Amino acid sequence: MSRRRALPLLLPLLLLGPAGCGIGDTAPVPAGSPAAGPPARAFGPAAAVHVYFYSARGLERVSRAYRGPDPLGTALRDLAEGPDAAERARGLVGHTGPPPAPVGAPEGTGTVRLRAPGGWESRGALRQLVCTAADAAGTADGTPLPRVRVTVERLARGDTVTRTCAL
């Protein structure tokens, strides 16, 4: 297209462009109180619990459906049952055996005490157990995972250890 033909077509655009959108200036309009941020998180049982199994990359968090009424008990049972068929197909492995049991009520925010039957003595099994219990307890009371202290009474060894989940 030549310049002589383009100029008449572009001239109206050049003249109307500075006119804007046709909406005049407005002043601030009162709209109520300022935003206060997101609502406070309600802690308690979630729709899912998390268990920890091993893969070639290390310890991995796996979501499982929550089967109430106790998220910690559900997570411990799921851990003891081991990875399901789909998880095994993804290369996840884990310790299986009798499920550990919570001992009494939680000792306070960010703490949980378990009684583990024989079979949970290995370092890997203990790490799975600690991270699973810490995740369930932290979800219930709002404590971040690395700050939850898990005390495990290992019945086969006759000792007690306290750990946190270090991923």
Q: What pLDDT, on a 0 to 100 scale, did the predictor assign at position 4? A: 62
Q: What distance in Å separates the CA atoms of residue 162 and residue 165, rounded to the nearest whole number?
A: 10
Distance of alpha carbon 166 from alpha carbon 144, whole angstroms: 12
Instruction: For residue 57, report the phi and psi dihedrals to the nearest 5 degrees.
Output: -90, -10
- Rounded average pLDDT over 117-121: 86
pLDDT (tens digit per residue) in 9-58: 665 655 555 555 566 666 666 666 665 555 444 444 457 899 999 999 99
Inter-CA distances, 18 with 12, 14, 15, 21, 49, Å: 11, 8, 7, 9, 59
pTM > 0.75: no
- CA dist 132 and 51 (Å) reads 5
pLDDT of residue 12: 60
User: How far is Cα 57 from Cα 161, in angstroms, rounded to an integer?
Assistant: 26
Task: Establish whether the linkage from the previous residue to 69 is cis, with ω within 30° of 0.
Answer: yes
Over range 136-144, report the average pLDDT.
Answer: 85
